Structure 1
Amino acid sequence: MLPVLITRPGERGDALADALRKNGYAVDMLPIMQLVPLTETPAQRSLWLDIDQYRKIIVVSPFAAHCLSDALERYWPQLPVGIDYYSVGTATAEALHQRLGVRVRTPPTDAVEDTSEALLTLPSLRQLAEQKVLLVAGEGGRLLMTHTLRERGARVTRSEIYRRDYRAPSPAAVQQLHTGRYQALIVTSGELLQHLATWCHHGALHQPLIVSSRRLATLANTLGFTATTVASGATPPALLAALARVGSSPGADVDQGL
């Protein structure tokens, strides 16, 4: 049975692998990225202590949600009131709700994908004159959210509280990517896709690639991938549904595009 390759790190990667296995797929995990919390600086500590000055907090990933929750639990035994919380995806919203018990606004239910662009269509994020907004994210990444909020009048503070450490695939994984001997590859990060593309040769470029947004599909096309399918989001159910659409069924042993 050819495996499905997944690149998601940490607990979310484990959850995706479990969901795939429960649906009958073989899974190989490619541990090529690790998320690492950044050491708290005096400036960061001051930011957490002044968190009650912000009207809105936008969290871009589940790992950012856990890092933020750790900080608020240290400095705020009782959360300040009057803050609206937002997240790009449902997994991030669930992490915030579980850890902090807060209600979190996510992209509209009729949005095709859970993306920054979809979140920015919410009416409450359109008119932001002089509102203080905290954006909690990792190092690097896209600045679309920051720029758009500032254009709408917000006073935005971007707090980068973790970094992404990349590494080369194992020799066995390099061989898989060289030959394309797998059912599908699942990638939900643009930086991760660019890093991984270094090892993707002809075989891999023609195998099914599942991504979580149209933006990633555009990047994949630029990198030379020819069989990209866009999931409706980065959750396990959305990725499983996309995998089913490409015809990669559990137990399949047929190489495609080789």
Structure 2
Amino acid sequence: MTPAILLTRQPADNQRLAGRLDALGIRSYCTPLLQIRAVEESSEQRSLLLDLDRYQAVIAVSPVAARLGLERLDRYWPQVPLGIDWFAVGETTAGILRQYDLPAQAPLDGQDSEALLALPRWEALLAEPNLRVMIWRGVGGREHLASRIAFAGGQVDYLELYQRLPADGLPQSIEAARQAGVRGIVVLSVQALEYWHAAAGQEWLQQRLWRCWVPGNRVAKRAAELGCEDIIMCNGADDDALVTAINAHRLTVQGE
């Protein structure tokens, strides 16, 4: 039997991707590496949102950030302020913002900070003398994006909406996946990669040989540092990018 690929996002995202892979005859097994816990709103976060109309741009870095940010936005702004440029890291995240009638822009040729800042609109934004940018994200991450904006003279504020914690019972879940024939894994962040590495324990020497699909250079670099030898870089982390890369680099019975 052909080995299976471990899908490691949140359950709804895993099931959606699994359906697309199944239509292509690709076996998958679903186990989230992370659990997402919303951060309780602080007075500082409330002030950021109440001052939303003072920002020229808002960036959502993930679908979770977009969903949670919109929930907060709806509390304080029944009508979204005009004059804000909305950006998303990836088309999936952009689609969530667009469902809220926000004309979000997302790069088509990558889903990292460099691709986002290469969008034409940023040339004018970064030239503004008092640029203020709000980034919707989890706790930590996307520092390079902020540093580029700050280097150009802009001010960046973070609305940190959630924490990423190891999924409960992760070592047991990873072992169950291995026993079910998993020999490849989709890992979409350095943090998720570290949780997989920790959960594997003594089995890491074998699991690091699994084919590992990653969204870009940063995760690929860390995977190589941890000893992964079969790393496939996707052009981003959305469903289309993952399906394209997985289909182009299918596992075989021998794991080649």
1:104 is paired with a residue whose SS is coil
Counterpart in the other structure of 2:31: 30
Unaligned runs of 5+ in 2: none
Kept in 2: contact 1:180–1:255 (CA 8 A): no
For the residue of structure 1 that corresponds to 2:158, the secondary structure is strand
CA contact (8 A) 1:208 1:246 kept: no
Specify the alignment match of 1:227 in structure 2: 230
Question: Within 1, Cα distance between the matches of 2:171 and 2:197?
Answer: 14
1:71 aligns with 2:47: no
- Gap change, CA 1:38 and 1:3, over 3 Å in 2: same
Matching of residues 1-258 of structure 1 within 5 Å:
1=1, 2-98=3-99, 100-107=100-107, 109=108, 111=109, 113-126=110-123, 127-128=126-127, 129-167=129-167, 168-171=169-172, 173-174=174-175, 176=177, 181-198=181-198, 199=200, 201-248=204-251, 252=252, 254-256=253-255
Count of matched residue pairs: 248
Q: Residue 182 of structure 1: CA displacement?
A: 2.0
The percent identity for this pair of structures is: 30
Which runs of 5 or more residues in structure 1 are unaligned?
none
SS at match of 2:182: coil
What's the CA shift for 1:48? 1.5
Change (3 A) 1:78 1:19: same
Report Cα offsets for 1:10-56 as digits up to 9, x if no partner: 43233222222232222211233111111112222222122111111
Q: Which digits, 9 at most, give the CA deviation of each residue in 1:168-215, with x for residues without a partner?
A: 4252522655x8942421111111012112215232222211111122
Matched letter for residue 196 of structure 2: L
Structure 1: distance between partners of 2:193 and 2:33? 11
Mapped partners of 1:82, 1:187: distance in 2: 36
**Conservation of the 8 A alpha-carbon contact between 1:180 and 1:204:** no
Tell me the distance in 2 between the aligned counterparts of 1:80 and 1:49: 11
